[in-house]
Amino acid sequence: MNRWAAAVAMLLVVPPALAVDGEPGLHDPSTVIQADGKFYVYGTGRGLPAYVSDDGWTWRRAGQVMQAVPGGGPGPEVLARGGNNTWAPDIIRSGGRYFLYYSAPGTQPKSAIGLLVGTTLDPASPDYKWEDAGPVVWSDGVEDCNAIDPGVFRDPADGNLWLTYGSYFGYIRLVQLDPKTGKRLHPASPPVNIAINSEASIVIVRDGWYYLLVTHGSCCAGANSSYNIRMGRARRVTGPFLDNMGIDMLQGGGKLFAGSTGRHIGPGHFGLLDLGGGVEKFSLHYEADLDRGGISVLDIRPLLWRDGWPVAGDNVTAGTYQIESARTGTVLEMAVQGVPVGGLRPRGPGGPGARSMSPPPPPIPAQDPAQVGGTWPAGPVGVRMGPHMVQTQQKWSIEPAPNTGGYPGAPYFKIAVAGTERVLAATSDAELTVLPAFTAAPEQLWRLDQLGDGTYRLTPKAVPGAGEALALSAIGSSMPTLARFRPDSDRQRWLIKAP
């Protein structure tokens, strides 16, 4: 058990937040990829629809990939092996080029996976174009595999490139790719079967383990879809991939990674998004977002790790919380004189030392800021850390700040003393203050990234005068500050908990 495990066990479990903003309507998304300061994702649909985001939160449609392909669609070799459809793409950068793989099914299970090659993802660039590199793998309509849903990945141990593919009909298969061309490296060698009865497969690697993530269940039926993501792991890229009960995924095994929750139905098509600094996220789609009329939407969520397995995290939702240091157990508070919850309690008979009281006293209500804040200073107030007292100055309202942008999977947040307009902000000397009113200035906007162990990194959008990102940091048990984030330290790891 790692050193934060006990603290993480106390984390507040929150329901999924609203999926990404802007134009999130998308089915079978590729892995989200970063290029030239932007984020790109591609999906199923006529011509392979493309989407772009400046921050990973607000997305917009950016045309169709096939508009930049000679002929405007799958090439003749792909059509001969599959059909004139463009489904479920995936993408990777290799050298100075991008390899975009897509499904081109005909009369299923006859299908091909085609390859497009480009040098830029920006449709506004004069160099933007995609070259048809033909089919990479295919199924003939007789074999036990349907060649759709490519998942491309690079092995960090040796740099080798691999492709998984296949649908719920028959096997999930694995082939090695040539990192220079994107085509099969050993076309005469048969593919390796690694799973069955699933689709939308991809492999990720961590600590010497290969994790195969696949999508089970049925798709394409809106809120009646049963998609869910399952996984197994292996010590070799070729398997065998076993779940946590030791069942081979070729025998139908698969540990649950993500299922339907709340008003998001049918998660599928996992894609890894590594943002660096210990922050990993994953992209997926929901077959139906009931808050958006039941359409299929893109989402980006935190990727956590527990007991050697990936865990699907959730983005923070609006609410009232305490912000507790995972290092010290003390909580962030506005530096004012606190008032004991329920008032001072006398000692002696009937007081805290009494063994019994009959009848028992009623519950103590939560503090009202209007009743205890009369002596608070009117202007800026300092920030400190103190023991958990559930007092008003320790409770923070965390809610999205509208029209201020965001970061992958989440908007920027306003953090205020609950029940007041007093907001947490960064200062020009890289310290913290509570200001009397919210102006949406960058130093008042907060990014909340969940780390792999379940704790959070809290970072202002900008610190006045600072040329780098700085994170909320615990100096000791009583003083917070802002400092460069260190993934190997617990000073900048925080728990966001119900008060």
Residues taking part in catalysis: 28, 199
Q: Is the dihedral of CA 177, 276, 243, 266 positive or negative?
A: negative
Q: Is the dihedral of CA 247, 219, 164, 235 positive or negative?
A: negative
Residue 313 φ then ψ, to 5°: -85, 175
Question: Which residue is it, tokens 């008042």?
Answer: 444
Q: In 3D, which of 245, 279, 195 has the Cα closest to residue 471?
A: 279
Q: Give one DSSP letter per residue of 32-99, joined into a string.
A: PEEETTEEEEE-SSTT-EEEEESSSSEEEEEEEGGGGSTTSS--HHHHHHS-S--EEEEEEEETTEEE
Q: Give one DSSP letter per residue of 191-240, joined into a string.
A: PEEEEES-EEEEEEEETTEEEEEEEES--SSGGG---EEEEEEESSTT--
Give the pairing type, strands 21-22 and 58-64: parallel
Q: Are 448 and 496 in contact (CB under 8 A)?
A: yes
Q: What separation in angstroms does the CA of 257 have from each of 167, 232, 267, 286, 303?
A: 18, 10, 10, 14, 10
How many angstroms separate the CA atoms of 425 and 448, rounded? 14
Q: What separation in angstroms does the CA of 326 have from each of 71, 144, 302, 332, 360?
A: 57, 50, 18, 11, 35
Q: Is 350 exposed, middle or buried (0-12, 13-18, 19+ CB in 10 A)?
A: exposed
How many angstroms separate the CA atoms of 212 and 236, rounded? 11
Q: Is the dihedral of CA 428, 433, 439, 444 positive or negative?
A: positive
State the DSSP code for 13: P
The token pair at 28 is 């079978």
187 preceded by a cis bond (ω within 30 of 0): no
Q: Are 417 and 396 in contact (CB under 8 A)?
A: yes
Query: Which amino acid would we find at residue 245?
Result: M
State the DSSP code for 182: S
What number of other Cβ atoms are within 10 A of residue 12's Cβ?
15
Residue 356 φ then ψ, to 5°: -155, 155
Query: Which amino acid would we find at residue 82?
Result: G
H helix or E strand, kind and range, residue 266: strand 264-276
